[in-house]
Amino acid sequence: MTTALRRLRNYIDGEFRDAADGRTTEVVNPATGEAYATAPLSAAADVDAAMAAAEAAFPAWRDLIPAERQKVLLKIADRFEERAEELIAAESENCGKPIALVRSEEIPPMVDQIRFFAGAARMLEGRSAGEYMDGFTSIIRREPVGVCAQVAPWNYPMMMAVWKFAPALAAGNTVVIKPSDTTPASTVLIADIIGSVLDELGHPRGVFNVICGDRETGRLMVEHNVPAMASITGSVRAGMQVAESASKDLKRVHLELGGKAPVVVFEDTDIAKAVEDISVAGYFNAGQDCTAATRVLVQESIHDEFVAALAKAASETKTGAIDDEDVLYGPLNNANQLKQVKGFIERLPAHAKIEAGGEQVGEKGYFFAPTVVSGLKQDDEIVQQEVFGPVITVQSFSDEKQAVEWANGVEYALASSVWTKDHARAMRMSKSLDFGCVWINTHIPLVAEMPHGGFKKSGYGKDLSAYGFDDYTRIKHVMTSLDG
């Protein structure tokens, strides 16, 4: 006897709907490798309906005073807390994530981020009004951009949805968001939460809409004539495609496209503490994090000691079932991602050495062992390209100059970290590292008040912070004559 698959649906104009043509795709639990739900495979008719709903709702939502939008977001944050166990269950099934870690590491920051943007709604900033030409007064208006087409990734489906909808709604925009085709469940649940709040407070239903589907669905959203802005978190290839599609009608684009974070460890570092923190920051979420500490550069004088300690930490790091509280991470998200990570290991050059891990774990699901690879050179594929898995690479550098050269010597520029007791060195490195974030003696903490975003092929635009809020607004100059 087979178990019936759960039926997920789009959320358009306050209603849950199947795709107009009835097409669906199966959603697989990566911890088991088995389908647990179906989701709509949305096409042009569905995208049209969602965009029409968002467009119709925009004028009323735009014209609300900020305090009213703040009330909505604060109520949404409260509802996230009230329904936290539902969100945790959905995300754990979505991604195979350990339940305890979703509860402790995702729900609290998501709620905090929504509340931060609720406050940001009332803190619109701009230059002061004044007379910059005799006889005329100038003022600056900061306005919402309009309908936002947003595409979220599969590594943090819930949290990335929050990073997108919270600043957009706070600024007065309306939203059509598409989760990844492999992880739609938690975003559909978020639609139910936000929809109920909008209904309770008497706001238009089309303010927030969810469309499920694949890459083609995302393309249709980005190319649609209604959105004024397209926002995506995903691969470099996907970001380039979005930028190209959006250029056809000059949509504003917000891109967060991954990273290859250097972790630069100098010889004066407390090795035990650095290894402890770096291993967690490298393996958390199975290394499926664009800021993960997976590219370590170690000064040659401590290289062997550091590698031995890191390999030991990897051997003691556990992956496994969602209900095991000793587990640091769950499976890779999907079969294709497992294949990609395996491919990097299989293609390692002869001079590379696997110090720990390097293989799939278990007979079902997409689990991969915590892995350490040493002996690598700067131009090796695994150093240059994003693995997006629980694989930490180690290189040995001679001096600060070489550390900077190798750290910056990749196409990505999202995040980085420096490990040293020398304050002056830390300051020099933070200046020289060409990355949107530099952590010193830590790696991966994020706060709502500070921006997250990179340079080069890591994309442009900021998430979180007032800078992230500003990205969802436009600037208008109003000038009036004093004569009449």
Per-residue pLDDT, averaged over 135-145, amounts to 95
Answer yes or no: 34 catalytic. no
Q: Which of 91, 256, 355, 386 is catalytic?
A: 256
What is the Cα–Cα distance from 204 to 195, expressed in whole angstroms? 9
pLDDT at site 1: 43
Answer yes or no: 148 catalytic. no
CA nearest to 280, candidates 428, 86, 468, 105: 105
The CATH code of the domain at 6-257+458-477 is 3.40.605.10
pLDDT at site 308: 98
Residue-wise DSSP of 407-452 = HH-SSEESEEEEE-S-HHHHHHHHHH--SSEEEES------TTS-B
Distances 216 to 45, 219, 241 between C-alpha atoms, Å: 13, 5, 11
pLDDT at site 77: 98
pLDDT tens digits, one per residue of 240-275:
999 999 999 999 999 999 899 999 999 999 999 999
Question: Is-contact 170 145, C-beta < 8 A?
Answer: no
Per cent of the chain over pLDDT 90 is 97
pLDDT at site 4: 86
Q: Which of 91, 290, 355, 437 is catalytic?
A: 290
The confidence band for 430, taking pLDDT boundaries of 50, 70 and 90, is very high
Distances 19 to 190, 268, 387 between C-alpha atoms, Å: 19, 59, 34
> Is the pLDDT assigned to residue 478 strictly greater than 90?
yes
> Is the pLDDT assigned to residue 138 strictly greater than 80?
yes
pLDDT at site 190: 98
Q: Where in the chain is the domain with CATH 3.40.309.10?
A: 262-448
pLDDT tens digits, one per residue of 65-114:
999 999 999 999 999 999 999 999 999 999 999 999 999 999 999 999 99
Per-residue pLDDT, averaged over 289-300, amounts to 97
Question: Is-contact 402 448, C-beta < 8 A?
Answer: no
Per-residue pLDDT, averaged over 274-288, amounts to 98
pLDDT tens digits, one per residue of 176-232:
999 999 999 999 999 999 999 999 999 999 999 999 999 999 999 999 999 999 999
pLDDT at site 18: 98
- In this structure, is the dihedral angle defined by the CA atoms of residues 318, 324, 330 and 334, taken in order, positive or negative? positive
> Is the pLDDT assigned to residue 384 strictly greater than 50?
yes
CA nearest to 466, candidates 126, 175, 65: 126
Per-residue pLDDT, averaged over 447-470, amounts to 96
> Is the pLDDT assigned to residue 14 strictly greater than 90?
yes
Give the dihedral of Cα atoms 207, 212, 215, 220; nearest 10 deg. Answer: -40
> Is the pLDDT assigned to residue 280 strictly greater than 90?
yes
The CATH code of the domain at 262-448 is 3.40.309.10
pLDDT tens digits, one per residue of 166-176:
999 999 999 99
Question: Is-contact 185 268, C-beta < 8 A?
Answer: no
Residue type, 167: P
Q: Which residues of 295-327 are buried (b: 16+ CB within 10 A; e: fewer)?
A: bbbbbeebbeebbebbbebbeebebbbbeeeeb
What is the Cα–Cα distance from 257 to 3, expressed in whole angstroms? 37
- What's the mean pLDDT when you consider all of the chain? 96
All residues at 6 or more sequence positions from 263 whose CB lies less than 8 Å from its CB, including other chains: 278, 281, 282, 293, 294, 295, 296, 297, 416, 417, 419, 443
Backbone angles phi, psi at 303, to 5 degrees: -55, -55
Question: Is-contact 311 278, C-beta < 8 A?
Answer: no
Per-residue pLDDT, averaged over 416-426, amounts to 98
Give the dihedral of Cα atoms 217, 165, 189, 326; nearest 10 deg. Answer: 110
Residue-wise DSSP of 272-285 = HHHHHHHHHHHHGG
Question: Is-contact 227 251, C-beta < 8 A?
Answer: yes
First to last CA, the chain: 81
CA nearest to 122, candidates 199, 195, 69, 59: 69
Residue type, 346: E
Residue-wise DSSP of 178-247 = E--TT--HHHHHHHHHHHHHHHHTT--GGGEEE----HHHHHHHHH-SS-SEEEEES-HHHHHHHHHHHH
> Is the pLDDT assigned to residue 2 strictly greater than 60?
no
pLDDT at site 204: 96
Read off the pTM: 0.96
SS3 state at 403: helix
Q: Where in the chain is the domain with CATH 3.40.605.10?
A: 6-257+458-477
| HEC profile of 93-141 | HHHCCCHHHHHHHCHHHHHHHHHHHHHHCCCCCCCCCEEEECCEEEEEE
Distances 442 to 104, 278, 392 between C-alpha atoms, Å: 19, 8, 16
Per-residue pLDDT, averaged over 345-371, amounts to 97
Per-residue pLDDT, averaged over 427-436, amounts to 98
Beta bridge partners of 177: 150, 210
